[in-house]
Structure 1
Amino acid sequence: MALAQAPLERGRYLVDTVMTCHNCHTPMGPNGPQFDRALSGGLRFDEAPFDVTASNITPDRETGIGNWSDAEIKTALQEGTRPAGHHLAPIMPSGFYGILTPGDLDGIVAYLRSLPAVSNAVPGPVYKQPVAYQVFPGAEKSMSESDFGNKLKRGFYLVTIAHCMECHTPFGPPGTGMDFKNSLGKGGREFPGPWGVSTARNITSSKSAGIGDWSDVEIKRAITQGVRKDSSKLKPPMGYRYYAKMTDEDVEAMIAYLRTLPAKE
């Protein structure tokens, strides 16, 4: 991990690659993400518990976060609450971002502040049933940068802030949220969008249902190129176009951690 980077460059790396913020917060057109309106919001998630649209996180003062303080942005990232105190929609992976180091938080804020302001008002959330605001196990507090020298710990950090398990873990009973205890990485969630409907894959160590019989090269190709073991193409919202810009060291750490996931059939 490029910890020697300046805060703004570190923030750019995290926002534009590992955290895949563009995957939700950049409008999606018929030909892909509309980067001329980067991070101005617009991707809709109409699922069983809720119907939500990703927010504008550019510095626009009317429709974005231009009026938010640094502390308010950090609170939204890690606690999932807006400056007025109400919750962000649960599709926002705040429960994964508690693990972010203080230095990484500073970098993210610096980079978001540097973006062009884009005026784009998006609709508020609609809740169809009770929702659970969850904290991902292990992301309850910031990780120490001293842990990044351990490949598995670094891999866990990266997989967590990439919120891989947000898509790859199915929901439990209504109102309970994602079933991290029993179905971590099992896959099965469906994601409708301009691409049709995609289903999150089982990414556990299961050799029959997961990626246990995939080589490191095959897993890396799926992460960074969106190509499965059988050479078929992955669909969004898998963020391979962003993961392609990750360092080899970071991707290898992610793979090492994924290898440790208990098999789920």
Structure 2
Amino acid sequence: MSFNLSAIQMLSVSVASENITRLELLLAALSPVPGQLVLLPENALCIADKKHYLGLSENLGQGYYQSMLSALAKRYQCYLVCGSFPIKSPVTDKIFTTCLVFSPSGELLSHYHKMHLFDARVADQKGLYKESDTFIPGQEVKLFNWQCGAHSVKVGLTICYDLRFPGLFQTLRQQGADIILVPAAFTQTTGEAHWLPLLQARAIENQCYIIAANQSGREKYGHSMIISPWGEVLEQLKDGEGSIHHLFEKSQIEKIRQAMPILEHNRFTTLKV
């Protein structure tokens, strides 16, 4: 069996309505087939500061912008995955940054609160990034079922900085993931150094397809890509806005996993110390 995987690369700004307008144009240009999996980058509807995120935040499953995303998924009959959106939390003055998965019927099928928050110094104009000032980390590993005709494929959810933590990806694989999504806003500096090798490593280690949708422009690296379970870059968009797509082929995963059964060989899942 084979079905379409796709990623949309954006140059998101701080005004959510402008990003929605751009997203509608990008989806129209992609023209997804029914049931297609479409991944948007991290901060797809707003890339700004704490004040903007707090003002935009909505309760999970409610609110204007979530309803807009739901309507777009329904209009294009696709699985639309918004890389991250600010969702209200129980903590005063802090929120979750949350991946939202909408089904072709517009249902909020699943969500994932980003677990690893990017608190780091980068050699660029911003210098210090401290997501923990705005967000609180999630606690749950999340997958969802992508219905491909009569078949169901497990898809694992991550966000950006999670890419540097292989344990999360290994857990997703152990829970049955055949595809792992990586929406991101990787910086130009860190992207040039680590984006490709990290994505390839996570694909090879877990023998999964990796779909990575990144922000572009404004010191963001772009280079959204789809990587095979063997670590090959199947599709890539280096700069600007646009989309990429490729066929998902379950048979390729099965072939690689049968030839090299990494999951069975991994002693660290059962080894007693």
TM-score, length of structure 2 as denominator length: 0.27
Scaled by the length of structure 1, the TM-score of the pair is 0.28
Bigger share in strand = 2
